[in-house]
């Protein structure tokens, strides 16, 4: 029976007629075309563009953290911008310093956080060939800077007041 798939079509028909329509023989002759029919669509599915057959879009998960590694606070405003320019979305962090962007198209995005008292943070996320991206933003405090002139004026003012 192993030699049957290699026979041409006319030989198969003649063999079926000679065997009197044996069911096992019929199944063995029909099995190779059936398997081909079932495997070709799954192979073609892998040839689709995008993320495993998805046309476009994706999700970007954002995590805001303090410099010591602890999760960031609730209510931090995070912006999403397309790399070409222009806004693509915004969100506020929930408990644990997390927020999420659900996007309708793939591409390159910039996740931006500028919170008062902290340095601005920008992270690049590419959603090309992937449906999920991640960005971790670290809250780094801006050190206070005072001008030396302001300090000296305050010192002079205090000195004059006491004398």
pLDDT for 35 equals 72
pLDDT for 51 equals 45
104 and 72: one domain?
yes
In the structure, what pLDDT confidence band is assigned to residue 120 with cuts at 50, 70 and 90? very high
Are 150 and 137 contacting, i.e. CB atoms less than 8 angstroms apart? no
In three-state form (DSSP H/G/I as H, E/B as E, the rest C), the secondary structure along 103-129 is: ECCCEEEEEEECCCCECCEEEEEEECC
Ramachandran region, residue 21 (left: φ > 0; alpha: ψ -120 to 50; beta: rest): left
Any idea what the CATH number is for the domain that residue 70 is in?
2.60.40.10
Residue 65 lies in domain: 58-139
Report the number of distinct structural domains present in the chain.
Answer: 2
Task: Record the pTM.
Answer: 0.56
Q: How far apart are CA 20 and CA 155, in angstroms?
A: 115
Least confident of 44-58, 85-99, 101-115, 127-141: 44-58
């Amino acid at each position: 029976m192993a030699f049957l798939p290699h026979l041409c079509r006319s030989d198969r028909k003649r063999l079926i007629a000679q065997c009197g329509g044996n069911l096992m023989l019929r199944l063995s002759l029909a099995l190779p075309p059936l398997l081909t029919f079932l495997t070709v669509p799954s192979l073609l599915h892998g040839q689709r563009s995008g993320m495993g057959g998805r046309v476009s879009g994706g999700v970007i998960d954002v995590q805001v953290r303090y410099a010591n590694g602890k999760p960031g606070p609730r209510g931090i405003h995070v912006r999403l911008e397309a790399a070409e320019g222009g806004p693509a979305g915004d969100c506020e962090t929930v408990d644990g310093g997390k927020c999420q962007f659900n996007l309708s198209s793939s591409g390159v995005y910039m996740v931006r956080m500028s919170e008062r008292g902290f340095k601005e943070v920008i992270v690049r996320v590419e959603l090309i060939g992937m449906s999920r991206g991640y960005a971790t933003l670290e809250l780094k405090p801006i050190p206070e800077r005072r001008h030396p002139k302001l300090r000296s004026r305050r010192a002079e003012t205090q000195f004059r007041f006491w004398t």
